[in-house]
Amino acid sequence: MDDAFKLPDDCTTMAEVRTGVDATDRALMKLLDRRFGYMRAAARIKPNRDAVRDEARKRQVIDNVVADARAAGMPEAALEDIWDRLVEASIAYEMDVFDRTRG
């Protein structure tokens, strides 16, 4: 994130809050780009298309997020739903990359 924002506890105006949210969203997009890069790597490494969907791994990833949310006092159910959607989008992306590059 850039240095032009305040941390949440330091914000005193909605403009500062919005600047912080926008900076955080940009940082999240960079992290998501990295995450999807790992999906490209997985599509390259996995031996076949059937290996793309791994329900046990999906559950592990989501359970980790729920545990982290609980520890941080964040909304567990909402984050579980977000990560379920993220993992499903990641699987769809990985399948698409697999098909385009190896199918």
CA angle (18 as vertex; 14, 20 as ends), nearest 5: 115
Q: How far is CA 68 from the centre of its chain?
A: 14
**CB distance 66 to 40 below 8 Å:** no
Q: Is 80 annotated as ligand-binding?
A: no
Neighbours of 83 (CB within 10 A): 19
Q: Is 53 annotated as ligand-binding?
A: no
- Give the span between the Cα atoms of 103 and 65, in whole angstroms: 32
Q: Is 49 annotated as ligand-binding?
A: no
Q: Is 59 annotated as ligand-binding?
A: no
What tokens were used for 43? 């599509």
Binding site members: 18, 35, 46, 94
Binding residues for substrate: 18, 35, 46, 94
